[in-house]
Structure 1
């Protein structure tokens, strides 16, 4: 079942922004004429795709794009390109080129793409593909790099030359799925893990079990401490913000080792702080970290998915950890980890989420938090006043100049939003979708090493990857 089947939303317009943190002076608010924003790059306009001339994006003047890596197209290894393009990272390639590692968030029970003999679990259709582009941005190679995983949502780039991909799932043969028609007894392995995908070869398909078995979303690496910060996207229960401390610093080991310690963020002096609620401008917390005694739980056959999905976070909550709503994208930038709480924040009158037949944790339109790694301090960067200003931020990236790029995952029009260092929220791109493809969204924004190209995915019925060129030095 699609996530949006769980997240039907209304879109009325009232409220006021609550902002704080590194972007001092940020004031994005709404009035009777709609949201007022900073100038950004100017008005958006339809721009044809440089590959085939079809208009798929609206962009500011001076920006162009082309698409590639389309779902269904045959890759260099003879395998059809899988769908549900999601999280992604760009790495420097040879001779000025670029290497992209891209997630495919395929849920449920389906045959693994590629060689099923190599798959982690032959009954799962998620994984990653690796794309090699030359210095002119032309796709020269495209192949399977990890298969047999499930719901590969986001992840994070690692500076030793690898992508860590995250399974947004706790499926396993012992867990009863809540989704109609999904028989988890067909699975051969437990899921809900991190997997490392090297740039120069296929992944070993070895999960990092001590980094937790939960609804993983994103990973952000701190090169000083060696910690990997992790987000959790559980739409029915409180979510945690975690850090995984490997047994050996990954920069020394040359990879992410299993056997480390998993911890969950707690607000100092405020056990089980309800951070999913609305907050005042300038909200800042000092934090501590509590240990997760059993990061890789197994369950008795027939265990409910709702029980399994909260097995790790409940350990942290018992020790006083803080509560968030649907933590999704995360990125590391100059000593700070920025991350999105997709349904966090206060609910504006008239912008409430409709009733649903399951527990729901979080009723807002999104928050952006910043964790200062050295000071151990958490700060609210931005909170959406209503869906017309910012609607459910998902993936997040940091531009070469430090601007945050937010990928929306709302039910209406979906945008890339920019938040500048001078404090302006603006529209950077709008997705143009065809009839019958209303669930299309942006995902996986990432910048080339030279900062001249933003790569971003369109997760849609026919997913594809965009390379957007423009004056990014002004972003």
Structure 2
């Protein structure tokens, strides 16, 4: 199919207002949903260890563990995070995976190809079977930092996001790394094509801020961007490239960055608890200086807010920690990790925002924003992070909670259910799920465990038994 037909076909397939996931009360459903049945411990087919609790009939295999070797002999870095799956040859799957490594620890892979030879983050590309057996693996982008999430693109590419503004021109961040050792500015989007190494050229016009995720709208060519500012307000952005990326065959720099605002309500605070079924009419405000040139080495806290402050001064809406985003049938679903009201009995988490999580939906063609789900308590949904969508329109939410961490489903009927629980990792209470993505045909759900020794996993089983 040629590119123009691709765009018109996708546009014609957009469904009605907020098709897919339904909005539910922030009181939650009356009783818990067990869409696939109770969870039980299941042994990893790679080594027999119990890492996941899954419904009956589901199996999994872990692969590409941090510290193991790529096919070229270099070492797999840790901090596995956002990921996307693409169809590969002979029924295989190509995975492009982020590594959220911070600090001037040195680039992995070939340092000559690195964006910044001192930075330790980036992406790896793997070709695997639908049962998690690695066929090929290699670094695909290195020398970036804090590659948290990103998004798959329709022209067979992954756009990876740096969740930082570190660089030699700003003060050190909370991790204590010495930014003066860095050679380049960070905080950008980078494109990673399927099948070849990335160019390591940042998309500067898409902003320098704490990028988290990106969702592509094939109808307009816009990229919708989330921002995860842990201690400060966050914004929902869109980047309008100078040419439709499908027609260009790649993502071009030099476009326009905008930030979402609620019509008639300047600086509307959407981080707090919301009414059931609330819908807002929205507009967009321009960011005049998306790639600020810092002078005098300002503090990291000041620098990380520089782009967002421009939008809020123009009236942009306030969110709490925007993380995962995914586009489905004309709606971009995105997650506010600490959005909502604090439930009785729950402690407010650290950072900006007192809730346990919200899921929002933005209709790209009508400009309406709607609350899809707000967590009523930590036991229902606890600090959602990355998100993906199944073929049936059910969302898969990766938790980053304080206790047990789950993969939760949010069905089209607005029901939250448990699908998978992470077995506690010895000595690593911060281990969490990240980067969930369904492979071609929906046979396999690939997901990462971000831990001190991170890894990827392939999960398969009787999906037809439930809403995935």
1:91 is aligned to 86
**Aligned counterparts of 2:425 and 2:34: Cα–Cα separation in 1:** 28
Q: Is 1:246 aligned to 2:237, yes or no? A: no
1:373 is aligned to 364
**Aligned counterparts of 2:132 and 2:294: Cα–Cα separation in 1:** 47
**Aligned counterparts of 2:169 and 2:382: Cα–Cα separation in 1:** 36
Residues 20 and 394 in structure 2, CA contact (< 8 A), matched pair in contact too: no
1:122 is aligned to 117
**Aligned counterparts of 2:28 and 2:128: Cα–Cα separation in 1:** 42
Deviation at residue 302 of structure 1 after TM alignment: 2.3
Deviation at residue 40 of structure 1 after TM alignment: 0.8
Equivalent residue runs for 1:202-241 within 5 Å:
202-241=197-236
Deviates more, 1:179-188 or 1:225-234: 179-188
Deviates more, 1:243-252 or 1:106-115: 106-115
Q: Is 1:104 aligned to 2:99, yes or no? A: yes
Deviation at residue 433 of structure 1 after TM alignment: 2.3
Q: Is 1:297 aligned to 2:276, yes or no? A: no
**Aligned counterparts of 1:180 and 1:463: Cα–Cα separation in 2:** 19
**Aligned counterparts of 2:174 and 2:34: Cα–Cα separation in 1:** 44
Q: Deviations over 1:251-302 (max 9, x none)?
A: 0000000000000000011110100010010100011011000000111132
Cα RMSD for the two superposed structures: 1.6
Q: Deviations over 1:334-387 (max 9, x none)?
A: 110000000100112332326x6xxx4211110000001111100000011121
**Aligned counterparts of 1:465 and 1:229: Cα–Cα separation in 2:** 26
Q: Is 1:441 aligned to 2:432, yes or no? A: yes
Q: Deviations over 1:100-141 (max 9, x none)?
A: 000000011211111111111111100000001246642110
Q: Deviations over 1:10-29 (max 9, x none)?
A: xxxxxxxxxx9854474675
Unaligned 5+ runs, structure 2? 1-17
Q: Deviations over 1:64-118 (max 9, x none)?
A: 1011111111110111111000000000001111100000000112111111111
1:457 to 438, 448, 462: 448
Q: Deviations over 1:128-164 (max 9, x none)?
A: 0000124664211010000000000000000111000
Deviates more, 1:244-253 or 1:125-134: 125-134
1:268 to 263, 269, 286: 263
1:413 to 393, 404, 421: 404
**Aligned counterparts of 1:28 and 1:317: Cα–Cα separation in 2:** 27
Q: Deviations over 1:159-193 (max 9, x none)?
A: 11100000000001011114364211111000000
TM-score, length-scaled by structure 2: 0.93
Q: Is 1:315 aligned to 2:310, yes or no? A: yes
Q: Is 1:257 aligned to 2:248, yes or no? A: no
Number of residue pairs aligned between Structure 1 and Structure 2? 449
2:163 is aligned to 168
Deviation at residue 208 of structure 1 after TM alignment: 0.2
**Aligned counterparts of 1:149 and 1:178: Cα–Cα separation in 2:** 15
2:6 is aligned to none
**Aligned counterparts of 1:133 and 1:24: Cα–Cα separation in 2:** 34
2:423 to 421, 426, 432: 432
Identify if the C-alpha distance between structure 1 residues 36 and 27 changes in structure 2 by more than 3 Å, giving closer, same or farther.
farther
Equivalent residue runs for 1:16-27 within 5 Å:
23-24=21-22, 26=24
1:352 to 339, 347, 356: 347
2:39 to 32, 44, 61: 44
2:72 is aligned to 77
**Aligned counterparts of 1:244 and 1:179: Cα–Cα separation in 2:** 28
Residues 27 and 424 in structure 1, CA contact (< 8 A), matched pair in contact too: no
Deviates more, 1:434-443 or 1:220-229: 434-443
Residues 70 and 462 in structure 1, CA contact (< 8 A), matched pair in contact too: yes
1:158 is aligned to 153
Identify if the C-alpha distance between structure 1 residues 272 and 181 changes in structure 2 by more than 3 Å, giving closer, same or farther.
closer
Residues 360 and 371 in structure 2, CA contact (< 8 A), matched pair in contact too: yes
Unaligned 5+ runs, structure 1? 1-19
Deviates more, 1:191-200 or 1:428-437: 428-437
Deviates more, 1:389-398 or 1:127-136: 127-136
2:178 to 178, 183, 192: 183
TM-score, length-scaled by structure 1: 0.92
Deviation at residue 239 of structure 1 after TM alignment: 0.6
**Aligned counterparts of 2:269 and 2:74: Cα–Cα separation in 1:** 46
Residues 101 and 163 in structure 1, CA contact (< 8 A), matched pair in contact too: yes
Q: Determine helix, strand or coil for the equivalent of 2:306.
A: coil
